[in-house]
Amino acid sequence: MILALSLGLTACGNNANVNGGQPKKNSQVNQQENQQVFKQVNLQVNSHESKIFQTENKEQPTDKKAIRPFHVNIPEAELTELRNRIKATRWPEKEPVSDQSHGAQLATIQSLAKYWANDYDWRKIETKLNSLPQFITEIDGLDIHFIHVRSKHKNAMPIIVTHGWPGSIIEQLKIIDPLVNPTAHGGKESDAFDVVIPSIPGYGFSEKPSTVGWGPDHIARAWDVLMKRLGYKKYVAQGGDWGAVVTDLMGVQAPKGLLAIHTNMAGVIPPAVDAAIWSGAPMPSGLSAEEQKAFNQVRENKFGYSYIMGTRPQSLTGLVDSPIGLASIMIDHDWKSYALISRVFAGQKEGLTRDDILDNISLFWLTKTGVSSSRLYLENKFPFFAVKGVKIPVAVSVFPDELYEAPKSWAMKAYPKLIHYNKLPKGGHFAAWEQPKFLTTEIRTAFKSLRQG
The whole-number pLDDT of residue 223 equals 99
The whole-number pLDDT of residue 365 equals 99
Same domain, 330 and 184: no
Same domain, 46 and 159: yes
CATH of the domain at 419: 3.40.50.1820
Q: Is residue 28 part of a domain?
A: yes
Same domain, 407 and 443: yes
Q: Is residue 240 part of a domain?
A: yes
Examine the residue annotation and report whether 241 is marked as an active-site residue of this protein: yes
Catalytic residue among 203, 338, 377, 404: 377
Same domain, 197 and 325: no
The pLDDT tens digits for 131-143 are 999 999 999 999 9
Same domain, 149 and 80: no
Q: Is residue 125 part of a domain?
A: no
Domain closes at, from 350, 370, 390: 370
Q: Is residue 35 part of a domain?
A: yes
Domain closes at, from 327, 350, 370: 370
Same domain, 264 and 340: no
Same domain, 216 and 173: yes
Q: Is residue 285 part of a domain?
A: no
Q: Is residue 280 part of a domain?
A: no
The whole-number pLDDT of residue 28 equals 37
Examine the residue annotation and report whether 429 is marked as an active-site residue of this protein: yes
Domain closes at, from 334, 349, 370: 370
Q: Tell me what percent of the residues of the chain surpass a pLDDT of 90.
A: 72
* Whole-angstrom distance, CA of residue 263 vs CA of residue 385: 11
Q: Is residue 309 part of a domain?
A: no
Residues paired with residue 423 on neighbouring β-strands, in sequence order? 398
Domain count, the chain: 2
Give the pLDDT band of residue 18 (cuts 50, 70, 90).
very low
DSSP H helical ranges for 254-366: 271-279, 289-300, 304-309, 323-331, 336-345, 354-366
The pLDDT tens digits for 406-442 are 999 999 999 999 999 999 999 888 899 989 999 999 9
Instruction: Note whether 328 and 305 are within 8 A (CB).
Output: no
Catalytic residue among 191, 217, 241, 401: 241
Does 80 score more than 90 pLDDT?
A: yes
Examine the residue annotation and report whether 333 is marked as an active-site residue of this protein: no
Say what the alpha-carbon torsion angle 223, 227, 229, 232 is, to the nearest 10 degrees: -160
Same domain, 331 and 384: no
Same domain, 258 and 145: yes
* Whole-angstrom distance, CA of residue 207 vs CA of residue 353: 29
Same domain, 156 and 223: yes
Same domain, 346 and 250: no
Catalytic residue among 145, 163, 218, 429: 429
Q: Which residues span the domain enclosing 199?
A: 5-71+133-273+379-451
Give the pLDDT band of residue 335 (cuts 50, 70, 90).
low
Mean pLDDT of the chain: 86
* Whole-angstrom distance, CA of residue 162 vs CA of residue 164: 7
By C-alpha distance, which of 166, 162, 203 is closest to 12? 203
CB-based contacts of 193, cutoff 8 Å, min separation 6: 151, 156, 157, 158, 159, 179, 180, 443
Q: Cis omega (within 30 of 0) on the bond before 436?
A: no
What is the SS3 assignment for 295? helix
Q: Is residue 168 part of a domain?
A: yes
The pLDDT tens digits for 355-404 are 999 999 999 999 999 999 999 999 999 988 988 899 999 999 999 989 89
Same domain, 167 and 213: yes
